[in-house]
Amino acid sequence: MAQAEAALSAPQPPAAAQDALLAAARADDRAGIQAAIANGADPAAADSRALRVAAEAGALNAVMLLIERGADPSADGHAAFRAAVAARHYPVQKHLHESGHQPDLLAPERRAEIAAMRAELDAAPEIYRPSRFWETFGDANVSWLSWAGLENFKRTINQNYFNFVIRGFRDPRIRRSLALWRRGDMLAPLRTALADPDDDPALWFSMDPRYRIFPGERADARRLKRLLYRLMVGAQWGYAERRPSGAWLQGMQEPALGNPIPLTLRGRPVSQDLVNSACEAADLEAAMAAAGRPLPQDAAAAPPVVAELGAGYGRLGWLLLSKRRLRYMIFDIPPTLMVAQWYLSRLFPDRKVFRFRHFDSFAQIEAELAEAEIAFFSANQLELMPDGMIDAFVSISALHEMTRPQIAHYLSLMGAKTRSAVYLKLQRIYRNPFDEMVLERDAYAMPPGWRLWREADDPLNPGFFTLSLLRETP
């Protein structure tokens, strides 16, 4: 109230000078802006209206000068940035973005969750600290969440997880897609449709060539990449639907939460994530059956505990929880852990959730955790779990992004905490430039007491393979 009264009592700039400032801003007239200010105009007046007018007109020089002379880019909810986006003035949008003047769309409570998760890992032994690989991507992902919000994460940070885009004609995914096409429903790829996610007026970053999902300077090159992408995902679905994974796809569609790439098959929203998850779920189910612990569908059955290390946003967990009766636990690092907690909590609003928090011993959380169907933990908290409490442990495309000591440590923990099956998906040869190392098959040795039940190339993703391991019986 006092601030409003102070604003009303403050001397107002001359109306004629202020009108001249708005006209000069709209015309991108730097000299006119300087003259108006000299005559008493205030660039910050009326929530920096002159700046919004300049941005709306695409007047880049005026935008830069007005900010220099005191206009506030954050005024009225970053109205200048929003005006540039709405009018599709990319140079102005680019300047404001690079200057840090776009809205922060990551809610304060989500930032607080990330901070608490980071503090947990910072206080943990060194072995649990993120590798340089994930320090780099983690910082980038936080920036993306700030720019685009959680509501759009499938258009942004998901491209840093397990969603692959064909980059050119030498991409091995083209050959793999052709092979899958011949072995599956031949019509499925032709029944896909894809709206251009890089031309969405509602998403400012889709106008920025640096942030395109399907990059390229030429429109025809980007169009070709979209075509190859939808044919690839269609071939994957056509293949998966005719195998045990088909039961996991039946009746399922990609959740709208997170704003996925707008891809449909036979009119149904689909995704590369969902078909990958179906294949992984089928592999896990086969391993659990071989271990004598099948994943139950009966609501009256005792639910097994499935845990995942490095779960991304929880895509596999969503499918498992949707199709089978089980309890699901995630062990991960921020910001990914926060994203998964946000995502699954919203997709399953009626399920009991154990949310991430610090604890010093399992006894402190045992009773509450026993009631939970979904639980979230930082990676270091895995060591506090009792040995043998987890029925099956999963890790998809995560271990090869760690250092060798971390890989050995986590495999040892998985071996100790799991009583039935471990399922891993990895790259056969992975070159990590951030941690300056190359990892091959020999890096993934389980501790004594486990036997290899099945090793196979990933049918969908060239360069990846899967390991299904069972605990040895006495």
**Same domain for 256 and 301:** no
Residue 151 lies in a domain: no
Asked whether residue 423 falls in the same domain as residue 337, the answer is: yes
Query: Is the same domain home to 381 and 301?
Result: yes
* Residue 157 placed within a domain: no
The residues, ordered by sequence, that sit 6+ positions from 322 with a Cβ below 8 Å of its Cβ are 252
Shared-domain flag, residues 355 and 427: yes
Quick one: which of 292, 313, 326 has its CA closest to 419? 292
Same domain, 219 and 335: no
pLDDT for 10 equals 54
Instruction: Examine residue 178 and state whether it is found in any structural domain, yes or no.
Output: yes
Q: Is residue 145 part of a domain?
A: no
Consecutive H or E run containing 265: strand 263-265
Asked whether residue 69 falls in the same domain as residue 34, the answer is: yes
318 and 462 housed in the same domain = yes
Residue 15 inside a domain? The answer is yes
**Residue 277 domain-assigned?**
no
Does 195 fall in a domain? yes
Q: Which residues of the chain carry a pLDDT beneath 50?
A: 1-4, 6-8
CA distance linking residue 9 with residue 12, whole number of Å: 8
Query: For the chain, how many structural domains are there in total?
Result: 3
Give the H or E element holding residue 86. Answer: helix 75-86
Identify the DSSP state of 294.
P
How far, CA to CA in Å, does 431 sit from each of 181, 312, 401, 434?
A: 29, 20, 9, 9
Q: Which residues contact 111 (CB under 8 A, 6 or more apart)?
A: none
**Do both 334 and 450 map to the same domain?**
yes
pLDDT for 339:
98
- Amino acid making up residue 430: Y
Same domain? For 312 and 349 the reply is yes
CATH of residue 429's domain is: 3.40.50.150
**What pLDDT does 433 receive?**
85
Q: How many CB atoms lie within 10 A of CB 173?
A: 21
- Are 314 and 411 in a shared domain? yes
**Per-residue DSSP letters for 91-146?**
HHHHHHHHTT-S---S-HHHHHHHHHHHHHHHTS-GGGSPPHHHHHHHHHHHHHHH
Helix (H) or strand (E) holding 9: helix 2-9
347 shares its domain with 456: yes
Expressed as residue numbers, the domain containing 331 is 290-471
**Based on the domain organization, do 87 and 236 belong to the same domain?**
no
Task: State the pLDDT at residue 1.
Answer: 46
- Give a yes or no: residue 284 inside a domain: no
Domain holding 65: CATH number?
1.25.40.20
- Phi, psi torsion values for 468, nearest 5 degrees: -115, 120
pLDDT of residue 3: 46
Looking at residue 137, its pLDDT comes to: 85
